[in-house]
Structure 1
Amino acid sequence: MQSVRVRLPASTSSCIYSCKMMESPQHLNLATTPLVRPAQADPPRASGVYSWWLDTARFPTPESAGLADLPAAPRLSHGAEQAELLYVGRARKNLHQRILRQHLRRTRSSALRRTLLAVLLPGDGKWAEGASLDSRRRVVLDADAEDQLTAWMTGHLLLGWVRCPSKDETDALEEGWIKEHQPVLNTDGTTHGRELTERKSRFVEGLSCDA
């Protein structure tokens, strides 16, 4: 699927983004958000919207990164970095905790991690190893499997975020970006959400349920 590229001056990538920069935060340009490697990320302890991108400088296609089962949806290309958009999410209270303590640590509390498992599995069956269901039928991983998924994310993805001063502005920005760009790993608010839900359902088939 052909990606969508937005071009901008290279200097834009060094700016610090905030919802306060524009009267309508939902109109901030996602393709200009500064990106960092996850291992170097230090998000603020504040509300905001974050985005995850495939590092296409190292992995030119999703298939080369092991993402063998993505829905057929256009992927926004970053304007200053070699990266393609995968996912947009929000943190109504604390970007630091949401990103570092959930997305990069705990599959139980991260929709992104659970979706990644579902689209990685067709390319390599190892991603089901160490996985089970908790009493609420949420996917959980043992410690080794959590570490493997975190290592994959830090080795293949880039991360950006925008700090927002209020929950309302956080919600508006996330909703606007998802509606406009249809990130390929987002389930809610996208036309391909049902496809992702089906992939996630296939992943949980056969997993044991913890008592």
Structure 2
Amino acid sequence: MSTQPTEVSPADLPLSTPLQAEVHCPRGVYSWWLDTARSPTPEAAGLGPLPGVPRLVHSSGRAELLYVGRARRDLHGRIAGQHLRRTRSSALRRTLLAVLLPGDPSWREGASLDGRDRVVLDGEREQRLTAWMQEHLLLGWARCETKDDVDALEQRWIAAHQPVLNTESTGHGPELTELKRVYREGLPRRF
């Protein structure tokens, strides 16, 4: 989707399932949504208690905004290479694990910490989390022309909508940070 960053609202973006997304643009801002047609509430999807902030409803009426992120160089690589594969390099995946844990302690199995204190999952658990994302989440994105446009649009969307799984630049960030700390507590170290 080619659009000017000042004109686009995340609620108006076309949505697709993550693995079917055909994201072929160099940079942009993306949004992850709970597919309420499949899971009408976060709890139905297995997500534990989320911060009590209003969630933006997509214009289709079938999704609620969970997370906003940016890709300054390669939108496809950011989504397919990190958010759908590697927990170590995806803040979204690490936050998802922290909010999935209260409802199902098995989300800690196969998890360890790397040298920078980031969560790492073994291959089987990475696949499990990706399958969960495919089943419960939808993805939208807006193309941006410059890195400055990317940064500005991401900041506007986060400030305006306070996505429930974003930690930085949100009023509920400390609550998510605590959930992530609890998740990491006691995990073995992998160097």
- What's the TM-score, normalizing by structure 2? 0.97
Equivalent of 1:110, from 83, 90, 104? 90
2 CA distance for matches of 1:26 and 1:125? Answer: 42
Choose 192-201 or 26-35, whichever is displaced more. Answer: 26-35
Determine the structure 1 residue equivalent to 2:62: 82
Indicate yes or no: 2:171 matched with 1:207. Answer: no
- Tell me whether 1:134 sits opposite 2:119 in the alignment: no
**1:27: how far off?**
4.6
TM-score (norm: length of structure 1): 0.88
Q: In the alignment, which residue of structure 2 is the partner of 1:58? A: 38
Q: 1:149 aligns with which of 129, 132, 144?
A: 129
Whole-angstrom distance in 2 between the partners of 1:178 and 1:17: 20
SS of the equivalent of 2:175 reads helix
SS at match of 1:77: coil
Gaps of 5+ in 1: 1-15, 20-24
- Between 1 and 2, higher relative CO (CA 8 Å, sep ≥ 6) is seen in 2
Structure 2 counterpart of 1:161: 141
CA-based RMSD: 1.0
Structure 2: runs of 5+ lacking an equivalent: none
Count, aligned residues: 191
The amino acid across from 2:180 in the alignment is K
What is the CA–CA distance in structure 1 between the aligned matches of 2:99 and 2:60, rounded to whole Å?
Answer: 27
Q: Which residue of 2 aligns with 1:18?
A: 3
Identity of aligned residues (%): 63
The structure number with the bigger radius of gyration is 1
Q: CA deviation at 1:17?
A: 4.3
* Other-structure match for 1:36: 16
**2:170 aligns to what SS in structure 1?**
coil
C-alpha displacement of 1:26: 3.8
